[in-house]
Amino acid sequence: MFELSKQFRFEAAHTLHRAVDAEPSRRIHGHSYRAEVILRGPADPVTGMVIDLGLFERSLAMVRDALDHRLLDELPDLGPATMENLSAWIWRRLAADAPQLARVTIYRDSLGDACSYFGPDHG
C-alpha cells in the first residue's frame, strides 16, 4: 500500500452567515487556500505507479481552475462556502478520475485552519 499526495493553492472570496463575527463574515472577503489530496493504493506492477501523477495533475488543474479567483458563493453545488463543503466538493470532482482517493484537506495557513474529508463512506 502506498500513499501519494499532491497540493495546490487557490485564492477565493466568499461570504458566510454565522453567529460569531457575523457582520464581517457576511461581507465579501477573501482567503488563501491550500488543498492537499491524498491517494492510497497499491502500485501497478507494470507501471510501478499508484496513478500517473501527470494524469492526476490534469484533474487537479481543472478543479483549481473552478476555484481560483472565484466568488465561492457562486459555485452552484457547493452550499455555504466553508472548508467542510470545499473539501467534500473537491472529493466529488475527483472521485471518478481517482478511485484511490483517501482524503482531501483544505488549509487556510494564515489562520491556522484545516479541515479534512475522508469520503462519503466515513460519514
Which positions lie near ligand LPXRUNBV, rule CB under 6 A?
A: 16, 18, 21, 25, 82-84, 111
**Cβ 8 to ligand LPXRUNBV, closest distance in Å?**
18
**Cβ 111 to ligand LPXRUNBV, closest distance in Å?**
5
Closer to ligand LPXRUNBV at the Cβ: 82 or 116?
82
Of the candidates 106, 79, 108, the residue with the CA atom closest to the CA atom of residue 116: 106
Dist CA 113 CA 106 (whole Å) = 8
The CA-CA-CA angle for residues 18, 88, 112, to 5°, reads: 60
DSSP bridge pairs for 5: 38
Closer to ligand LPXRUNBV at the Cβ: 30 or 99?
30
In degrees and rounded to multiples of 5, residue 75 shows phi and psi of: -70, 120
Closer to ligand LPXRUNBV at the Cβ: 86 or 98?
86
**Cβ 117 to ligand LPXRUNBV, closest distance in Å?**
12
Which 3 state secondary structure label does DSSP give 99? coil
